[in-house]
Structure 1
Amino acid sequence: MAARNYTLVSEFLLIAFTEHPQWALPLFLVFLSFYVSTLVGNTGMIVLIRKDRRLHTPMYFFLSHLSFVDVCYSSVTVSQMLAVLWEHGTAISRARCAAQFFLFTFFASIDCYLLAIMAYDRYVAVCRPLLYVTIMTEKARVGLVAGAYIAGFSSAFVRTVTAFTLTFCGHNEINFIFCDLPPLLKLTCGDSSTQETVIIVFAVFVMPACTVVILVSYLFIVLAVLRIRSAGGRAKTFSTCASHLTAVALFFGTLIFMYLRDNSGQSSEGDRVVSVLYTVVTPMLNPLIYSLRNKEVKEAAKKALSRAKPSRRP
């Protein structure tokens, strides 16, 4: 048996963007502003939904959980990205890297499931309006959200355990913004085909399955809308579909690009650009895409702002 001459890796060094130190501060300020916008937008949406009784409907119940998950999801990744930029590279232990990967996978999986649930909710509302109240009961929507969290935890647990049973050796530099799977796979030594197969299988069950639910739901919605005689009604529903599908395409498209492909010989620069889209941009845009285009949310926001203004006394 040939002797193996390598050093096992006990910690990783995140060095993304360090090859351009002159851009560290501008990028830090840009990503910090994006992160603050994500926190303000999604937290504000959660508070608005809880405070306004007109928004106590299944659709906004799912939206409040999507906003909560986006805050957590963004905090796990962007905080690490800011640390890398501020310190021009930062060391992270293997255990902390595994925890970060688990949390990222956990919240990303829940995001996928919630997007699929929201699409199904719109399908029931448009195609089965008379049965909507009986189908989307409080027990049903709580069960759907609980199922999303449980499925997300299961997927994240299996993928994290599988990924970190791999042997990492040689150099420990990760030219990426946080501990994600593609850059970690580049540091493995030995045969990792079994672990990669398990990881890909779970990715296939999450992303494509949710994508199918979303596309089938909106297919039935489009067919139902085409039967509506009112041009205004058709335009309103199509606008909602277009916004939702745009966000779905951005989120799912970037995740599929990162995970369901051959990672050998890929550009780290391109990977980082794609990762910024699904970790920074998408969580920041979700309140705009799903909420601020909605008339009910606009009215609720105006009402909340009017209450916040100090009253003028003569």
Structure 2
Amino acid sequence: MPIVTTKEMFKKAYEGGYAIGAFNVNNMEIIQGITEAAKEVNAPLILQVSAGARKYANHTYLMKLIEAAEIETGLPIAVHLDHGDSFELCKSCIDGGFTSVMIDGSHLPFEENIKLTKQVVDYAHEKGVVVEGELGRLAGIEDAVNVSEKDAAFTDPDQVEEFVAKTGVDSLAIAIGTSHGAYKFKGEAKLRFDILEEVQKRLPGFPIVLHGASSVIPEFVEMINKYGGDMPGAKGVPEDMLRKAASMAVCKINIDSDLRLAMTGTIRKYFAENPSHFDPRQYLGPARLAIKELVKKKIVNVLGCDGKA
């Protein structure tokens, strides 16, 4: 099966009350772990690439690795630009074979966000590529995205219809209480399902996206802390909240920090127990397996898209 767009994926997800996992990729082992997990449970996938990952790994290398994963698994896989911050970056990814891009104009005034997003949509749609826009701003740090708590803002449901109508976007990322990175909540995380319900009412059948939706798995945080890390109190979004969101209008849930924690924690543990080893295969193999098992659990227990490929 060739690399696909998210259009059909999201239609099925909305109607079926589940979400597709959008997993950030940076290297071969991460791509292998994610796609091997999805193959075992027959799930559709979105592999997303940030500007930082694209710069680190090289666009061509990443695309060839993803093409190899598609050949090995036969799954429907979409390739998505995560947090594109300019028309030029989105254009480069579209021209380079991405099937989906996000243009993040959430830091701009409303009218400027519309203008930038529509510019990307017009170019992307000519090439058969779909576009994700964003309204509202998530707090936290992830790659080039750095938003303080004071600058974070929930999505205003009064703006969503105008934004979608004027831009022509295919999906919309909203801010309802998630956050980028392995962050600290003051108390338990609370998602604004009232905002999600209102957005769903105003945009019936339209796919919604949640960024910053890692659950910050405690076992990996503890593993990192045990072997030299310093992440006291790190928390994420409880998985039952994500399951509820997936049963509503949310068709795409982004997961990045959990992958990083799984890989880093496993590698730290390996070196603590095998300090004289230096073969990359010896420590990257267990890290790849940790990612695979994590992704399988996410697909089955949180996203609900197992068996939907």
The reply to whether TM is greater than 0.5 is no
Query: What TM-score do you get using the length of structure 2 for normalisation?
Result: 0.27
Larger relative strand fraction? 2
Q: Normalized against structure 1, the TM-score is what?
A: 0.27
Q: Which is bigger in relative contact order (C-alpha 8 A, separation at least 6)?
A: 1
